[in-house]
Amino acid sequence: MEIALDTPFTPDEVSLLDMHSVLNVLTVIQHEFLRLDEQIGDADDLDTLLDFIANAGQHLGNSQAASHLISNIETFILDCNQHLRDLNEKYPRLHTDGTLASVRANLEGIFLILQVRARELRERQENPEAWVPHPVKELKDNFSTLFQAIERNSHGAYRIVHNLAQHEDGNYLIHLDINGNNSGQILMPPVFQDVMRDLIANARKYTAPGGTIAAGLSLYQNGLRFVVSDTGCGIPSDEIEQVVRFGYRASNVKDRPTCGGGFGLTKAYYVTKIFKGRMWIDSPADEHNGTRIEIRIPSPTPA
């Protein structure tokens, strides 16, 4: 089904959509520090940091506040690491149960992802609609880091594998293919990497362990074509077009707790329309038969 909904957004909503990938990462960081906060009990060592993260997330709808956060992301990461060192010295019991080691390992990958996303946002601030060559190997490495972080954040609940021979009950099988030009590059707007991450993460989120997610990005008729499909819970047929509205969640998942901002499909549709593209969402009428999303974006006309 091609999505052709008219979806006007307020400036605050546009800022939140632009910062959606950062909001998701901040939420994961917040949860990791909450794990430590629970372990140290009534102590207030992390109150200031947790308040800062919560306030930062709440103010990402303000473009100036969002820009300030992105400009100071390295300082934020340094502050987080200093808190980890302080806890390491003050609470020896955190070593005994392995909580601190687990949190530090998870955050190490999350901070790398946050740095990448902050760099992408800074690079596209001056010319948000520019198309930039992306090395295919670099894109694949970025997604490899993302998948590793998602797996670690599950705290052993599941694994993510990429080889059919390793696919077992309880593991996710994720196939991601990216085809570029003869120089090993693919031209695309930097923000489109956000879209890819959001849609693949959504597919994983709404697919039970043991399921399969397949995604591909390729040059297509002088533009881009991106497709992602999953074996998850699907979308009710009468709500398919509505799921791109800001803040809308399908009725079959609206009560399910999530760690993200919940704007993944909205952002994907917003970016698609900004770049004069087209978007299709298909989900079989029978629940649990998965969802397939396709986006096509024409390349800019040469001057």
Better-scored residue on pLDDT, 261 or 205:
205
Q: Count how many domains the chain has.
A: 1
**Which CATH number characterizes residue 54's domain?**
3.30.565.10
Which of 258, 225, 262, 259 is CA-nearest to residue 245? 262
Residue 48's pLDDT is what?
94
Q: Are strands 185-188 and 212-220 parallel, antiparallel or unpaired?
A: unpaired
In the numeric block, the tokens 């800074």 are attached to 122
Task: Answer yes or no: is 32 within a domain.
Answer: yes
Region 267-280: mean pLDDT is 95
Angle formed by the axes of helices 191-205 and 136-153, nearest 10°: 40
**Alpha-carbon span 179 to 175, nearest angstrom:** 13
DSSP secondary structure string for all residues of 69-99 = HHHTHHHHHHHHHHHHHHHHHH-THHHHSSH
Q: Answer with the residue of higher pLDDT: 97 or 169.
A: 169
CB atoms within 10 A of CB 3: 21
Any domain includes 6: no
Q: What is the pLDDT of residues 30-43, one digit of tens each?
A: 999 999 999 888 77
Query: Is 36 contained in some domain?
Result: yes
Q: Is residue 176 part of a domain?
A: yes
Tell me the residue type at 96.
T
SS3 state at 42? coil
Assess if residue 1 is contained within a domain.
Answer: no
- Residue 116 structural domain: 11-298
Q: Check residue 261 and give its pLDDT.
A: 58
Per-residue pLDDT, 119: 87
- pLDDT tens digits, residue range 104-123? 988 998 998 899 889 888 88
* pLDDT cut 90: percent of the chain above it: 55
Scored b (16 or more CB within 10 A) or e, 228-259 reads bbbbbbbbbeeebbbbbebebbbeebeeeeee
Please report whether residue 260 resides in a domain: yes
What's the confidence (pLDDT) of residue 287? 58
* Confidence band, pLDDT 50/70/90 cuts, at residue 285: low
Integer Cα distance of 291 and 240 in angstroms: 10
Q: How confident is the model at residue 8 (pLDDT cuts 50, 70, 90)?
A: confident
pTM for the structure as a whole = 0.86
Residue 4 inside a domain? The answer is: no
Q: What is the mean pLDDT of residues 4-25?
A: 88
In the chain, helix, strand, coil percent, each to 5?
Answer: 50, 15, 35
Give yes or no for a contact between 7 and 243, defined as CB atoms under 8 angstroms apart.
no
